Every structure is written in structure tokens, then in C-alpha cells.
Amino acid sequence: MLKLAIIGLSCTTLLILILFQMSNNPTLCEPSENGNLTVNDDTIISEHLQVEAILHYATSRVIPQQTMDEIKISFNILKSLTPCNLLVFGLGHDSFMWSSINPRGTTLFLEEDPKWSRAILKDLSFIRSNTVRYRTTMYEAEKLIEHYNKEPDCWATKSVLRGNSKCKLALSMLSNEVYDKEWDIIMIDGPKGYFDQAPGRMSAIYSAAVMARNRKGPGVTHVVMHDVDRDVEKVYAQLFLCRKNLVDGVGKLWHFEIPPALDVNTDFC
């Protein structure tokens, strides 16, 4: 109840701020050119999306699973980088929020469960999501570490995801967009990882590490990971995202800053 009241209050404040900003923004009154999107149109669309998001959350009875303090970590990174490329493992009640904070960037979700995708995207068709088929199950989490140690195609020296069918931890059949974009922020809050037959987050964590190491552009890749109270998340994060890259954490969320691998012949950590 208190949580709802806090969220309601924050939303109202944000709504007032945005409306205040819109009322002081003369660019909103300028006409756009013959059907082409202008910077002003872009601004209007972004602000429209954010107002829609405020209305959505102010009137919704379901709230995201992450706590306010956990959300704030990703919110602050996103606020400082937007417009940027944000890749999120797992659709949820927070998806609209992340998309609306990055209105001029690219926000793409990877979701394993088509039924859950339909439920979340029902009224939010502008959210971009790909369905992912995972090749792993939670049951195999321990064995997959042995597989990683033995399979050269998994090693940091290989560092390839697309078409890497030999390494079971590599998400090898994603859309080209996922491989071709450099993701500034990767959020790992999916797939499901709380029962034996669930896919678990092993390959999401491994693949996020490979993407981050392969970054060619300036800066680091921010990886935020939820549910680090669970063994698999903890062990895999330490194995591939590395303690030395852990820069922040609160509750069940860890924030890593992964630099590009200068020398592909080095290990993950």
C-alpha cells in the first residue's frame, strides 16, 4: 500500500514536471515538414510516450518486481546515457518504464515465454521484443560450467555468439540486430530461473559478457543483473562478469561496468 502511494506520488510529480517542461517548450508549437519526422516531431513523440507511461503506471495495480532502490540504479545509468542501446533479458511490468526513459534510443527485450510476451505487449505494441529459445535448463547449471571449461568455442579467446552452436552457453540464434548493435546497457532480469526445467540465466550472463567484451565503441558496457541472491546468478556473474567489474549493488541487484577486451587472448576475469 505504502509502495503504491510512493509510486503514485512520484508519478504525479513527474507528470507535473513534464507538463511544466512541455508548457515552456516553444518547439512544440513549430510545424513539421511534409510528412518527414523532424527533431520537433521526435520530441513530441518522446514526450507523448513518457506521458503515456505516467498514466499507465499511475492507473496500474500491478507494479514491477524490482524495488525502488534497485530500479534507481538502472534509472540513473539510463538517464545519463539516453538515447542509447538498451538490451533487456525478460519482459515484465517494468518494460514500458525502461522504453519510455529511452524514447529516442533503441530498447529491445528478449523474452522466452510467448504467452507472457502476449500478456505484456497486449496494450503496448510499440515495445520491441524478440522471442528467444534457450538451449539450457537450470538443472544443467553446474554441468555447463564443466562444459565451458572443456569447450574451446566457449573460451574468451573465441568470443563469438552468432552461429556458435558448439558452446551451449552462447545464445547463437538471436536476431542479427542483437549481434550487430553495440549495447550500452544490458539488463538481465530473465529468463526464469527458479525451477529445474526453467532455462536459467546462465546463457544470458555468458552472452552479455561476450557482447560487452566485443564492444568496439568508446566507453564500457553496463550490465545490471537482478536476483543475485540466487546461487546460479551469483556464480555465473562472478565467472563471466567478474568481481573486479562490479561497481555498485543494492538489494538483489548488481551493476557491472565491463570494459572492451583489449586482448582477446585474456580470460573473462
Ligand X SMILES: C[S@@+](CC[C@H](N)C(=O)[O-])C[C@H]1O[C@@H](n2cnc3c(N)ncnc32)[C@H](O)[C@@H]1O
Position of cell 552461429? Answer: 163
Is 47 a binder of ligand X (CB under 6 A)? no
Is 190 a binder of ligand X (CB under 6 A)? yes
With contact defined as beta carbons under 8 Å apart, do 40 and 222 qualify?
Answer: no
Is 199 a binder of ligand X (CB under 6 A)? no
The whole-angstrom separation of Cα 30 and Cα 26 is 7
Whole-number minimum distance, CB 239 to ligand X, in Å? 21
Task: Considering the complex, state which of residue 90 and residue 200 has its C-beta at the smaller distance from ligand X.
Answer: 90
Q: Which of 115, 110, 238, 236 is nearest to 174 (CA)?
A: 110
With contact defined as beta carbons under 8 Å apart, do 94 and 120 qualify?
Answer: no
Whole-number minimum distance, CB 70 to ligand X, in Å? 9
Task: Considering the complex, state which of residue 71 and residue 154 has its C-beta at the smaller distance from ligand X.
Answer: 71
Contact with ligand X (CB under 6 A): which of 112, 132, 183, 188? 112
Is 66 a binder of ligand X (CB under 6 A)? yes
The residue range among 133-141, 163-171, 190-198, 208-216 that interacts with ligand X, by the rule CB under 6 A, is 190-198
With contact defined as beta carbons under 8 Å apart, do 229 and 70 qualify?
Answer: no
Is 70 a binder of ligand X (CB under 6 A)? no
At residue 253, φ and ψ (nearest 5 deg) are -120, 135
The residue range among 2-10, 107-115, 137-145, 228-236 that interacts with ligand X, by the rule CB under 6 A, is 107-115
The whole-angstrom separation of Cα 94 and Cα 5 is 17
Contact with ligand X (CB under 6 A): which of 46, 60, 65, 82? 65
Residues 6+ apart with CB under 8 A from 28: 22, 40, 43, 44, 47
Size of the site for ligand X (CB under 6 A): 16
Q: Which of 4, 1, 49 is nearest to 22 (CA)?
A: 49
**Which residue is at the shortest CB distance from ligand X?**
92
Residues that bind ligand X (CB under 6 A): 64-66, 90-94, 111-113, 116, 189-192
